Structure formats: structure tokens, C-alpha cells
Amino acid sequence: MSNDDQPLLICEGLSKSYGRQLACKNISFQLYPGEVLAIVGESGSGKSTLLQMLSTQLAPSRGRLSYRMRDGVTRDLATLGGAERRFLFRTDWGYVHQDPAMGLRMAVSAGANVGERLMAVGWGHYGRIRETSSSWLKRVEISTDRIDDAPKTYSGGMRQRLQIARNLVTEPRLVFMDEPTGGLDVSVQARLLDLVRGLVNELGLAVVIVTHDLAVARLLSHRVMVMKGGEVIESGLTDQVLDDPHEPYTQLLVSSILPA
């Protein structure tokens, strides 16, 4: 069996409770290399809590999360130490925040934001780091003339593209995205989504994307999980779920958000 035939991320019965309040309940799925999974639902559905657990930023109350490392060994992520988890985030994983200011160092240059991640994985040659940073700015459609400018001087769309470059420069295998087009103008959203779709396909990335926008899910994802009240109420191939939803809640989402 080739590595691409084996799951990259395995989620088994993941749940999160806050006292008596259940934020996520018994969620299980497998994510394969190169696959894009969209988690959709209204505010309060539990999708953001699930993303935080999947990315190990929040410990589950119950359940198990496993990841297949580059050496082919599948590890229970709960057994990783802090240093191992940080290394995973610098190398094999990326995380794109809705607010790019959370994923960037706003006061240092764009080039330094991208180059910093390269230095974290052992790159030491300044010229090579700058050349690679410049190349990635081009790939995310930022003029290399802006390489020495700080992100605080960038527009919202440019900041988001820079955050994507910072995450992808180390060629991760799995990227988490939290409402990556939230707060952007419609025209800027469309341009960003085209860019993300192209990079995901080109790099063969596995992606877990949280969004309330079903149009984003349709454009980017292979599979969709619909959440309500902390539970997955419907899941399947994106076109099947969005074109022929079975659950009344999913039907309501589709009819109220997607154009006819």
C-alpha cells in the first residue's frame, strides 16, 4: 500500500465539553493526502472548536487524534511533547487564521515573515532565504518590491496572501484554514480563493478548512462535513452534499446561502 493510500489524519470519537456544555460530540473521520475537507455550519455549530482540537491547540475531553509522520509512522498526537508539536507546526503543518495579524509578525518585513519559518527548520544562508522568500511572494501575487515592507502597510487581501506564503514555504503536508476569506471584499475573496485552489492542487496539500460560506466549500473541497450543535449531521462528497442534501438543516443552509 502506497503512502497516498493511507490516511494522513485520523480522528476517532473526538469530543469537547465545558462543564455540562458539549461543544463537540463524537466526531470521527479520516483525511487522506491531497484531500480537502470543508467543515461547515453556522456560528456556534462547533466547527471552530473542532479545528482547534484537530490542530492540537485545544485538548479534547474524549477521543483520539493520530497523524502519519513523514517516516510513515502514525502517532497519537496526545503523546507528543511540546517541542515535537512545535516542530510539527513549523514543518509538516500550516495554520491560516481568519485574521492574518494572528499569523504574521506585523512589525517586521514581509520577507522576514516568510524567511523566519525557513530559519526555524534550519536554513542559514541569508541569500538563499531571501531568494526563496521573494519567489514565494511572487507565487502569492505580491510584488517583490514590497519584500522589505511590513505587513502593517499591506491591504487585508495582501496580508492573507502573505500569511499563506509564510505557511507554505516549508512545504507542509497538512494545512488548517479558519475562515480564510472572512472579512474580505467579494472581489478580493474570489482572487484569494483562485490562488488557494491553485496552490493546493499544485502542492498536493491536505487541507481542513472551516467556513460558513458554502460557496467556499464548493470551490475548494472534495468532501464536506456539516455541523450543528457540536455534531456532524451530514457528510459526503462536496457536490453530493450541496446538490442533494438529505438533512433539513443542510437543505436550509444550501437554500439560504447558495444562489439558485
- By the 10 Å C-beta count (0-12 exposed, 13-18 middle, 19+ buried), 81 is classed as exposed
pTM of this prediction?
Answer: 0.93
All three cell numbers of 213 = 460560506
Residues 6 or more apart in contact with residue 50 via CB below 8 angstroms: 14, 16, 24, 27, 39, 210, 227
Q: pLDDT truncated to tens, each residue of the chain (260 aa)? A: 456 689 999 999 999 999 888 899 999 999 999 999 999 998 889 999 999 999 999 999 999 999 999 999 999 999 999 889 988 988 899 999 999 999 999 999 999 999 999 998 888 888 999 999 999 999 999 999 999 999 999 999 999 999 999 999 999 999 999 999 887 888 888 889 999 999 999 999 999 999 988 989 999 999 999 999 999 999 999 999 999 999 999 999 898 764 43
The 8-class DSSP code of residue 179 comes to: S
- By the 10 Å C-beta count (0-12 exposed, 13-18 middle, 19+ buried), 85 is classed as middle
**3-state secondary structure at position 227:** strand
* Domain residue extents for the chain: 106-171
